[in-house]
A = this chain, B = another copy of it.
Amino acid sequence: MSHCHTYLKKLRDHGYRITPQREIIIQIIAHCGKHMSAEEVMELVREKSSSINIATVYRTLDMMVENGLASKFDSGNGKTAYATGKHGPHIHLVCKHCGSVTKVSENDISAFLEKIEDLYDFDCHPYHFSINGLCSDCRHSESN
């Protein structure tokens, strides 16, 4: 199930104009089952329309993020990743040394995020962020 129309309605309600470019971009990221870079979105956009500019892709994705319809995060490969909220909350533990990624289960983080929301009146949903540190392999192989 796609939230595509929900997203468009919410944007319209916020006073944004619905353009053909935005419809195409939102449809792509809403239907895609994974997070994507702006360039990956752009490739799918080209299959549907030949004249949408990469700047419009960036602007539309960032607009979604600012309005809570998507999240962006550092994917670690030099490109920013975008995803809609339907992927659910998750935290990535990214090793600063080897780059390996461990996914924190939803159960482990829910209590923390609820506490944040209670204490700070801050709506964390959707959330998708990374914590940097050292994985056990890299830590155990250190000289000191």
- What's the least CB distance linking A118 to chain B, in Å? 10
Q: What separation, in Å, do the CA atoms of A67 and B120 have in the docked complex?
A: 32
A residues sitting closer than 8 Å to B (CB atoms) are 10, 13-14, 65-68, 71-72, 74, 93, 95-97, 102, 104, 108-109, 112, 115-116, 119-125, 127, 129-136, 139, 142-144
- How many copies make up the complex? 2
Across the A-B interface, give the 9 residue pairs with the lowest CB-CB distance, nearest first: A121-B136, A112-B112, A124-B133, A123-B134, A93-B122, A123-B133, A66-B96, A13-B143, A66-B97
Assess whether B68 is in contact with A93, with CB atoms less than 8 Å apart: no
Question: Given A130-B129, A131-B124, A143-B14, A108 and B119 touching (CB < 8 A)?
Answer: yes
